[in-house]
Structure 1
């Protein structure tokens, strides 16, 4: 049961990164479009925007309910990153919703908030994943005892932002008439180099990671972003979406059975079994998952079906 919930947690976060990554990636590229066409950039993800965020809500719900100790230690150890993520998410979401309701002179400010918020979110999630890969300086009581910004975490932040940017570029090419095709090869190579840098840094300074899982996983991510410029926009979007979602699954599998590694004190390492709620709680949560997860999937499917092939600027 614990393994099942851990896999489900990873799948939900992977789904969120793969789907909402297109939202953040297109926002990062708003400045590449002329001012009069930036509405089209937001319109490309407009029909899917709220549906993509539901995956994060579901993932956080599973984290809080099924892994309460992991949630507590993550909030304690990574609170600077998580606070920045929360503030950026609120600012980005508000700016997307409000941009079209103000006069033209105010749109430049909203655009800056959209781009800045999306950038902080993308880098913040990358730092979060890098910290999980590298481990955190936790003592035996689970309290942070040093800096969480390791070289692996910092480069992971940049790598994830590059993955999100290339995902946004191919998504815009597919779902809009805004021409950013020229950026796809450049962003793909940048993402591949940065992911390779994360692997190199991890190989030198990270212990407790299974290389037979981590290395093929990283190679798969690099291959997906490098092949994307050679494919049709729809297939390229599928590849870059997988590249955005795959890291969380690779890190979880490569660190198994550790949920949160300690770089300061081995006694501070938290295993998946230790992080999980009791069997009775997990059994009750099965009913929650059986009700909510099909609704999340159905809502996502409805959005994509309703707006299949539509490239009109219908929102904002």
Structure 2
């Protein structure tokens, strides 16, 4: 039963990485894929219906972490407080940028908020990847890791790899949602990000034993890493063949892979922070019915807004 709770936490975090990870990747490439104001408006229109829905998964994961893993939440927050604060600040700024960008017709106003979206999305993704890299090295039960671990080469390598994977995911999302005549720069961004993602994922795999990272279960993590590399490779081929839907499915696997790899490799340490059975029994009455509902709503949203965006599409922000 303990593994069920860890699996639910992994599901929520992986779901957020897939759903909001595409928004982060697209936000990071907003001014690269969209060269003009109207083109960037189209990209924000594509993000619009999925922005808050994707964030719900992260909020739900945070709630589950606090309720089902109170000791782990305490250790995470204390050990990685600077990264958590960076992540939250970038999250808020990304959302503010999306909300405010189109509030005024001024070109200078819009360019300023576009830059906020780009920087905040990049920092958000990088902080998340760096946090995963730290967790992969083992969450300390007491004290805080040194600066050489918190922002050391291995942790920063994880941050760069996650940024590259999410940039690829966002570019494929753009290719999927933009009108066919406007997908050229999205595919170009996908090619560059895909090449970087393959190199960085391979570097993470090579660096893991070199840095003597203590993984309790290295084999599952390695298998997930191989799956991520394969997914990126297949996605790049599918994008070239204009099969954007299948390419998005592949990059979704790659976006979820870092979370799944860390969870599989460090499961014993993560389960040390699990709450008592009586607390979990009460929590089950809320969580177990809510998760299928969350998935059903997300499927409905994806089906409702499955079409490519255009000048007549609904604008949310």
TM-score, normalisation: structure 1: 0.91
Secondary structure at 2:13 match in 1 = helix
- Aligned equivalents of 1:294, 1:310: Cα separation in 2: 27
- Aligned equivalents of 1:296, 1:145: Cα separation in 2: 35
Between stretches 303-312 and 74-83, larger displacement belongs to 303-312
What's 1:112 paired with?
115
User: Per the alignment, do residues 2 and 294 of structure 1 end up closer, same or farther by CA in structure 2, a change over 3 Å counting?
Assistant: same
Please list the CA deviations of residues 115-136 of structure 1 after superposition, one character each: whole Å capped at 9, or x if unmatched.
0110011101100111111225
Please list the CA deviations of residues 248-279 of structure 1 after superposition, one character each: whole Å capped at 9, or x if unmatched.
112111223122xxxxxxxxxxxx1x311110
- Aligned equivalents of 1:310, 1:35: Cα separation in 2: 19
Between stretches 13-22 and 286-295, larger displacement belongs to 286-295
Q: Which runs of 5+ in 2 are unaligned?
A: none
Structure 1 stretches (4+) deviating beyond 3 angstroms?
A: none
Secondary structure at 1:275 match in 2 = coil
Q: Deviation at 1:287?
A: 0.5
What's 1:236 paired with?
247
What's 1:22 paired with?
22
What's 2:190 paired with?
184
Q: Deviation at 1:145?
A: 4.6
User: Which among 57, 67, 70 is matched to residue 69 of structure 2?
Assistant: 67
CA contact (8 A) 1:151 1:201 kept: no
User: Which among 111, 125, 128 is matched to residue 125 of structure 1?
Assistant: 128
What's 1:247 paired with?
258
Q: Deviation at 1:291?
A: 3.1
- Aligned equivalents of 2:145, 2:304: Cα separation in 1: 50
- Aligned equivalents of 1:14, 1:45: Cα separation in 2: 19
The equivalences for 1:122-271 within 5 A come to 122-136=125-139, 138=140, 142-147=142-147, 148-177=150-179, 178-179=182-183, 180-205=186-211, 206-231=213-238, 232-259=243-270
CA contact (8 A) 1:134 1:202 kept: no
| CA-based RMSD | 1.4
- Aligned equivalents of 2:296, 2:223: Cα separation in 1: 32
CA contact (8 A) 1:131 1:153 kept: yes
- Aligned equivalents of 2:4, 2:259: Cα separation in 1: 16
- Aligned equivalents of 1:12, 1:314: Cα separation in 2: 28
Q: Deviation at 1:202?
A: 0.7
Please list the CA deviations of residues 189-230 of structure 1 after superposition, one character each: whole Å capped at 9, or x if unmatched.
110110111111111111234332222211111111111121
Q: Which runs of 5+ in 1 are unaligned?
A: 260-271
- Aligned equivalents of 2:193, 2:289: Cα separation in 1: 39
